[in-house]
Structures are given as C-alpha cells and as structure tokens.
Amino acid sequence: MATQPDFVLYDRYGRLAAVIEIKAKRGTSSRWAAEFRRNLLAYETFRYAPLFLLVTPDRLYLWKSEVPKDSEADLAPVFPDYAIDAKLVFERYLQGAGVRLEEISGPAFELIVMSWLEDLIHQWPEALRHTQLEGSGLDEAAKNGRITYPAAA
C-alpha cells in the first residue's frame, strides 16, 4: 500500500485542507471505507488533514474531522460523514468523455476525479450541484486552493 495520498488539497492560504485517495474498486460500502481509512491512519500524511476524501466509482466518502494527534493507528473504524453516489458527482464529466463509471479504467477514473477537483478549486457551480456535498466544507477548503500529486513524485 502506498504511503502517500493520491492528491493533497491545500487551501488558498497554503494550509493542508484535505487528503484524497482514489480507488478504482467497485462494490464498496461505508464499512469498507471506514476500515480502509483506519489502515491509512498509520501514515502521518493521512492523520492531520481536516478533510479526508476517498473516491471510488461507486461512492465518494468524506470525513470532516481531523484524527486527534495522540490517537493510535489501530483505532476503531469511523464511518464517513458523507457517502455520496459517484454518479451524482461525475455524471457530467463522464458524458463529456463518453464513458460509464461501470466500465471506466483506473487511470481514466483518476483523470475524471482530477477534473472535478480542479472545478472545485475554480468554484464552478456544477462541481457540487446536486451532489449532497454542499455544506460539507469541501467547497470552501478547495476555493482558490491548489492540488498536489505526492504519489507521482
């Protein structure tokens, strides 16, 4: 398992706002996501972000709270604050690319997610419309921020 997130989001002031992990796994659940996140908490990069976003072709899972700095890596799994149908978020991106979530490859899915994240940064209204993520803090954290790709380094 990689020890770096796929993407790191910094807010407009350069502060760590979110870590984003993308998995092309299908058939996920909130329980699976909670256990996956718990396993990642052993790595420092994942522990201190105010937001943690796990993106799959099925769902987006978002946790809003930072893990306490003195907690152990083997904490009980914490269910996400938001679990959103990925079709609600990525439908317009998929239509433009002429692909379906059920058939998308891992690299193509990562490009779709990256496009969506860039739209969040530039505050395109469609990026959060009808996604049930309004008010989650993700839009405010992303506004005029920047994305880095530590896994590519």
Give percent of the chain above pLDDT 90.
41
Residue 25 pLDDT exceeds 50 = yes
The conformation of residue 151, written as its DSSP 8-state character, comes to G
What is the pLDDT averaged over residues 131-140? 80
Give the integer Cα–Cα distance in Å for 61 and 77.
Answer: 13
- Whole-structure pTM value: 0.87
Residues in the chain: 153
